[in-house]
Chains A and B, each alone.
Chain A
Amino acid sequence: MRLTQAIVGITTLTLFSFLSPLAQAHGPTRQKVTEEITVNASPDAVWKVVGDFAGIANWHPAVEKSEATKGNEVGSVRTLAIKGGGKMVEEIEGYDAENKVIKIRALDGGAVPASNFSMMMAVTAEGSGSKITWRGAFYRAYTNNDPPPDQNDEAAVKAVTGVFKSGLENLKAKLEQK
C-alpha cells in the first residue's frame, strides 16, 4: 500500500516536471535525506544489484526502464524511464567496488522537485546480512525566496524520501526472494 502511494506520488509529480529543469542555480539552504534498510543477503550479493548502475529498473518500483552509456564507469550516464511518463538522467560521480559505494549526480531530476541533486548508495555488512544506505543532498526546486508549497524544502525532502524508501523496500523484497 505504502509502496503504491509512493509510486502514485512520484507519478503525480511528473505532471510538474516542467517546473524542475534541474536548475544549476539554487537557494542557499541544502537539504539531506538518509534512508537505510537491512537485508538478509550477503554484502556481495546486495552489491551485485546495487552496484549495477544500469539495472535500477530491476528493483525500483517507479522505474520502467533504465540503460547506461558506459556501464559502471565514472562518467557513465543512465536514463530512467519513469512509470507513468517522464524521465530522469543520472551520472556516476564515484564508484568504489571495494568499499561498495556508488556516487551519483542527477543531470535531469525529472519529477523530483529538487535541484543540484546528488546521492550515494553504500552496502555494508550488518549481522549475518547487509545494510543498504541511500543518501541524498539537494536544494529545493524553487531557487528564490518564498517558494510555493510544492517547491519548498519540505516538498523536496518528502519527494526524495519517497523515492528512496520505496526503492529500498522493493530492493529488500527482491533480494530476499527465495
Chain B
Amino acid sequence: MTQNTRTLGAFLGILLCLAVEAEQTDFRIVPTLALESAVPNESTVRSESVLTSESALKIKKVQPASQHAMHPPRAFITNQGSHDLSVMDIASGKEIARIPLPESPAGVAVDQKSGMVFVTSPDGRAVTKIDAQSLKVIATLEVGGGPVGIAVDSSGQRVYVSDWYNNQLIVFDAKNLEVLRRVAVGHVPAGIVIAPDGERLYLAERDDHQVAVLNTRSLERIASIPVGQHPFGLAINASGEMLVAVNVQTNDVSLIDTVLLHEKAKVSVGISPYCAVFSEDGRVFVTNQHSDSVSVIDVASSKMIKTIMVGAFPEGIEIDHGLLFVVSWMEEELDVIDLQTLKIIRRIPAGKNSRGFGQFIWSGIPPSN
C-alpha cells in the first residue's frame, strides 16, 4: 500500500492565524461567557426551546473558567456539503475556525489525551489528522474506497476506519496515519467503537444486519451478533458491558450484553434512527433522522422514557460535561441540550450538511495544578 502522507502546507499559514485568533478568543470569552441568542430557522417546524439565563448559569457552572482557562472543550463537526470541519468553542457557543478537508467529510474521532482529531472523507477517499489545540492539519492520507466510520483507541495509538465500498476495516498508526492492516469484514461496514479497555472492537456491518466483535490485537473475529435491519451507529457504556446498535430500517436499537455477546433487548425508537450515546446514569440517547428527535432510553428497564425534539435530521450525538450535543444535518447546526432538563439551551450554526458521525467533542486539557 502506497503511503501518501502529506501535510497540507498551503493551509498551514491560514490555520496558524486561526489558531492564534482562537487562543485570543478563549481569553476574552471564558470570563464573560457571552451568550448569543439561538437562531431558529424559520422554515422549520419543530418545538422551540427558550434560551434562559438559568441555562447560561448552568453552562458557567459546568465550565468554570479556572478549569478550562487555556483550552476549553471544543466540538469538531464534519460538514459534508462544504467539505470542511467546524471547530466550536463550547463555552461561548461559537464557531472559532473552519478547516478545509478532502471531499465530503463524515466520520470523526477524538483522542482525548493527545488532543488529536481524526476525520474520514468518503468522497475524498481520505483520512485526515488534526491537532485539536493548534488546529493544524498534521497529516492527510488517501486510502481509496469509501472511508466512513472512524474510532481511535483509548491509548491513542491506533485509528480504525470502515471502508464502506470495499468491505474492509483499515487499521492506522495514529502517529503518522501509516496503514498497518486491512481486514476483510462484512457488507457495508459503518459505525465503530472500541471497548474502554481497548481489548475489543465493535463494528456495525450494515447490510449483514449484525455487529462484528473483533480482538484488537489479532484483529480476529470473536463473534457476530445479529441485530435489527441496517445497523449504523454504535455506542458503548463506560464499563464496556453494554453496547447499543442503532438499526435504521427497523426503527429500533439493540441493547447488547458484551459479556454474554448477545442482544439483551430491542427498543423501538423514532423513524430512521442513526446514532446513539450512553450517559453515565444509565440512559441511552438516540438520534432519529426522520422524526427530528432524540429518543431517551432507560437501559435498566429497556424502555423509551422520553422524546426530545431537535433540529431536523439529527445525526451525530455526544455527551460531555453534563451536556448533550446533537448535530442536525438539515438545519446545519449543533444543538446543545442540558442533560438534566433535556431542553435545548443553544443552537450553534455549523457548515453545510453537518454530520458529526462519531466522537466529535474534545474535552479540553484538564487542570494541571
Which residues of A are in contact with B by a Cβ distance under 8 Å?
A: 24-25, 27-30, 32, 34, 36, 93-94, 96, 99-101, 103, 105, 118, 122, 124, 133, 135, 137, 144-145
Q: Is the CB of A34 within 8 A of B290?
A: no
How far, in whole Å, are A124 and B230 apart by their CA atoms in the complex? 35
Q: Is the CB of A36 within 8 A of B146?
A: no
Given A27-B146, A145-B145, A137:B249 Cβ within 8 A? no
Verify if B197 is at the interface (C-beta below 8 Å from A): no
Query: Residue among A28, A93, A99 with the most chain B CB within 10 A?
Result: A28
Verify if B261 is at the interface (C-beta below 8 Å from A): no
How far, in whole Å, are A120 and B249 apart by their CA atoms in the complex? 19
Query: Residue among B43, B188, B230 with the most chain A CB within 10 A?
Result: B43
Q: Is the CB of A32 within 8 A of B330?
A: yes
How far, in whole Å, are A96 and B292 apart by their CA atoms in the complex? 13
Q: Is the CB of B330 within 8 A of A137?
A: yes
- A98 to nearest B CB, angstroms? 10
Interface size counted on chain B using CB atoms at 8 A: 26
How far, in whole Å, are A147 and B351 apart by their CA atoms in the complex? 25
Q: Which of A24, A29, A34 contacts B43 (CB 8 A)?
A: A34
Q: Is the CB of A29 within 8 A of B104?
A: yes
Return the chain B residue nearest A133 by Cβ: B43
Verify if B165 is at the interface (C-beta below 8 Å from A): yes
Verify if B140 is at the interface (C-beta below 8 Å from A): no
Q: Is the CB of B43 within 8 A of A36?
A: yes
Q: Is the CB of B353 within 8 A of A28?
A: no
Verify if B148 is at the interface (C-beta below 8 Å from A): yes
Q: Is the CB of B122 within 8 A of A29?
A: yes
Contact with A along B220-231 (1 / 0, CB 8 A): 000000000010
Contacts of B290 on A, CB cut-off 8 Å? 93-94, 103, 105, 118
Q: Which of B146, B272, B329 contacts A145 (CB 8 A)?
A: B146
Q: List 9 A-B contacts (CB under 8 A).
A: A27-B146, A29-B122, A29-B123, A32-B329, A94-B291, A101-B45, A118-B290, A135-B330, A137-B329
- B307 to nearest A CB, angstroms? 13
Q: Is the CB of B230 within 8 A of A24?
A: yes
- B40 to nearest A CB, angstroms? 13
Contact with A along B136-175 (1 / 0, CB 8 A): 0000000001101000000000000000110000000000
- A103 to nearest B CB, angstroms? 7
Return the chain A residue nearest B148 by Cβ: A28
How far, in whole Å, are A130 and B272 apart by their CA atoms in the complex? 30
Query: Residue among A27, A34, A36, A100 with the most chain B CB within 10 A?
Result: A27
How far, in whole Å, are A78 and B247 apart by their CA atoms in the complex? 26
Given A36-B43, A93-B271, A145-B146, A29:B80 Cβ within 8 A? yes
- B167 to nearest A CB, angstroms? 12
Contacts of B313 on A, CB cut-off 8 Å? 137
How far, in whole Å, are A57 and B207 apart by their CA atoms in the complex? 36
How far, in whole Å, are A122 and B43 apart by their CA atoms in the complex? 8
Verify if B256 is at the interface (C-beta below 8 Å from A): no
Q: Is the CB of B330 within 8 A of A28?
A: no
Verify if B286 is at the interface (C-beta below 8 Å from A): no
How far, in whole Å, are A96 and B165 apart by their CA atoms in the complex? 38
Contacts of B80 on A, CB cut-off 8 Å? 29-30
How far, in whole Å, are A25 and B164 apart by their CA atoms in the complex? 11
| Among all A-B residue pairs, the 4 with the closest Cβ atoms | A28-B122, A101-B45, A29-B104, A99-B45
Contacts of A30 on B, CB cut-off 8 Å? 80, 329, 353
How far, in whole Å, are A28 and B355 apart by their CA atoms in the complex? 11
Verify if B106 is at the interface (C-beta below 8 Å from A): yes
Contacts of B207 on A, CB cut-off 8 Å? 25
Given A27-B146, A137-B313, A96:B45 Cβ within 8 A? yes
How far, in whole Å, are A107 and B353 apart by their CA atoms in the complex? 24
Contacts of A145 on B, CB cut-off 8 Å? 125, 145-146, 165
- A165 to nearest B CB, angstroms? 16
> 15 more A-B contacts (CB under 8 A) besides A29-B80, A135-B43?
A28-B106, A28-B123, A28-B148, A30-B80, A30-B329, A32-B353, A34-B43, A94-B290, A100-B45, A103-B290, A105-B290, A118-B272, A124-B42, A135-B330, A145-B125
